[in-house]
Amino acid sequence: MNRIIAPSILAADFNNLGKDIEMINQSEASYIHCDVMDGVFVPNISFGIPVIQHVYKIAKKPLDVHLMIINPDNLIEPFVNAGASIITVHYEACKHLHRTIQIIKNEGVKASVCLNPHTPVAVLEDIITELDMVLLMSVNPGNGGQVFIENTYKKVEQLRNLIEKHNPDCLIEVDGGVNYETGKKLFELGTNVLVAGSFIFNSENPTETIGKLKKL
């Protein structure tokens, strides 16, 4: 199983964002994870389309754009035009999830759905065949540097079983509290993509940290 690392630029140094993007370009990371927060769906506000556009200009890896926002439908096309290769929306934020997924697919990019820690995997049973990826939050969304929620391991196992039955090509991504210990177990349970922010960018050698995570 291919192991993918997606550094979250929410934890990057925004005074030197170009330098951090170049570091990711040269590393063994496969995606650049971009957390978009609106201050409504989650408590914080992060960045939006202008930042995605600038990152896209220098990025050599696909942009994995996680929309932590309400009413995402009207913003999917602008984010795709800004450079997103993968769009993730929250199950909890979408009144008509199937329609939202169709909008993403019609834009020609990969479609992903995120579940908050309290949301059971079973809610995806009727949509899993339409998805390219599922993102499980292993912390409460909105803040970096939180402690990993142990129940995530069980959810990965449940999701892996659902995917193997109905959509084997769908990837599992996990975001929050990822380090060498949690990352190793997540990979062993069938996770494909690890998102890490603080653990990578606060390390002494982020490039080396990315490489070690990929080899867990």
Percent of the chain with pLDDT over 90: 95
Q: CB of 85 within 8 A of CB of 110?
A: yes
What's the rounded Cα separation, in Å, for the pair 161 and 165?
A: 6
Going by C-alpha positions, the residue among 176, 172, 97 that lies closest to residue 142 is: 176
In tens, the pLDDT along 191-201 reads 999 999 999 99
**pLDDT for residue 198:** 93
Interval 58-106: pLDDT, tens:
999 999 999 999 999 999 999 999 999 999 999 999 999 999 999 999 9
Q: Which fold has domain 4-214?
A: TIM Barrel (3.20.20)
Q: Are 203 and 211 in contact (CB under 8 A)?
A: no
- Cα gap 53→116, rounded to integer Å: 27
CB 33 within 8 A of CB 1: no
**What percent helix, strand, coil does the chain show, rounded to 5?**
45, 20, 35
**Cβ atoms within 10 A of the Cβ of 79, count?**
24
The one catalytic residue in 38, 64, 132, 175 is 175
The rounded distance, in Å, linking the Cα atoms of 160 and 53 is 34
Contacts 24+ apart (CB under 8 A), 200-206: 200/7, 200/8, 200/11, 201/7, 201/11, 201/12, 201/13, 201/20, 202/11, 206/7, 206/20, 206/23, 206/27
Q: Give me the catalytic one of 20, 35, 64, 132.
A: 35
- At 2 the pLDDT is 82
> How far apart, in whole angstroms, are the C-alpha atoms of residue 161 and residue 58?
38
- pLDDT at residue 54 in the model: 97
Residue 35 falls in the annotated catalytic set: yes
When pLDDT is averaged across residues 130-135 and rounded to a whole number, the result is: 98
Provide the pLDDT confidence category of residue 141 given band limits of 50, 70 and 90: confident
The mean predicted confidence, pLDDT, of the chain is 96
The pLDDT of residue 216 is above 80:
yes
pLDDT at 144 over 80: no
Q: What is the pLDDT of residue 96?
A: 97
Q: Is the pLDDT of residue 147 over 90?
A: no
The verdict on whether 38 is a catalytic residue reads no
Domain ranges of the chain: 4-214
